[in-house]
Amino acid sequence: MKSKGKIIASVTGVLVLIIIVWGLIEPYQMEVEEEKAVVADLPSSLEGKEIIAIGDFQVGMWMDNSSKIPDIVNEIISRSPAAVVLLGDYVYHSVNDHQKEMEKVASWIEPLTEQDFPVYAVRGNHDYNMSGTKKEPDYEIAERVERDLTEVGVEVLHNESAKLKGEDFHVVGIGARWPGEDDIEQAYEDVGEEEGRFVFMHNPETFDDIPENQAPVAVAGHTHGGQIRIPFTPHWSWKNLLSGGAHVDGWIEESYGEEENRLYVNRGIGLSIAPIRLNNFPEITSFELTAKEAKNDVEG
């Protein structure tokens, strides 16, 4: 019996070690998720064009995977999208030198802005140096994040919209949730009722406050997909397991948010708390714009 117990313990130990090692390797991999973005008022010239979303770099966290960012940027450039949206959390909160880390982020992103497509961004909670909802936001850091992004050619949309290629089509960027900067009414101020729109934000919780039929396609980040996703269980991530209803990955069920609004949650690139990803690769999301597909096709 002791011999059998030792074998079981040894096998268990090896499996745990393999999981840990893979969890340290996986952050340096990458997946491109290709999704349909159905927009009823889409200009015909944008049919079939892509909008790409990335976010949650978390540069400066211990053992971060920031060395992967240039590869991700090159992949995006190779796809020549109509636009790129950055979902926030560029530098990890409470790093020793936030400005130095943010300068690294800006230098890695700059090749995107040298292309023929626009790059838009919003800020997330880490960009206000907030590790939790009860932390006081640091507006000086948030302003520096915006300034550094703007200096390399990124257009930061803080509760505002930008028209894509002069068309009647808006990219709408909503501010960060935790510091109370998500002003939806202001974000839509220049968007006409019959004009197409693609909406992005950092925190998925903001999506629930968007009025009916105002976000046919929206994307958020923040969750890292739970970072550790549990295979073969109804609770796909540890975060969902603990909360019982987190919105952490992919297209979110239709019961969340107002009628005719659809949200996709991007898994992000970086790491939080621990430098491990498991069953949860860093993600580039490519949305193919279309006015032709049936609505249920967006669920992928």
Query: What share of the chain in percent tops pLDDT 90?
Result: 68
Q: Over the chain, what is the mean pLDDT?
A: 88
**Torsions phi, psi of 226, nearest 5?**
85, -10
CA distance 35 to 235: 23
According to CATH, the topology of domain 2-299 is: Purple Acid Phosphatase; chain A, domain 2 (3.60.21)
Contact status, residue 52 vs residue 284, Cβ threshold 8 Å: yes
Name residues whose C-beta falls within 8 Å of residue 1's C-beta, 6 or more positions apart in sequence.
Answer: none
- Both tokens of 30, joined, read 């990458």
Q: Which of 188, 228, 218, 221 is nearest to 203 (CA)?
A: 221
Query: What share of the chain in percent tops pLDDT 70?
Result: 85
Please report the pLDDT score of residue 72 as a whole number.
Answer: 97
CA distance 118 to 203: 22
Contact status, residue 260 vs residue 212, Cβ threshold 8 Å: yes
Per-10-residue mean pLDDT, the chain, length 300: 65 61 77 94 93 97 93 97 97 91 97 97 97 94 97 98 88 98 97 93 96 96 85 62 66 86 95 86 96 55
CA distance 179 to 128: 8
Per-residue pLDDT tens digits for 151-188 = 999 999 999 999 987 788 999 999 999 999 999 999 99
Q: What is the pTM of this model?
A: 0.89
Please report the pLDDT score of residue 50 as a whole number.
Answer: 97
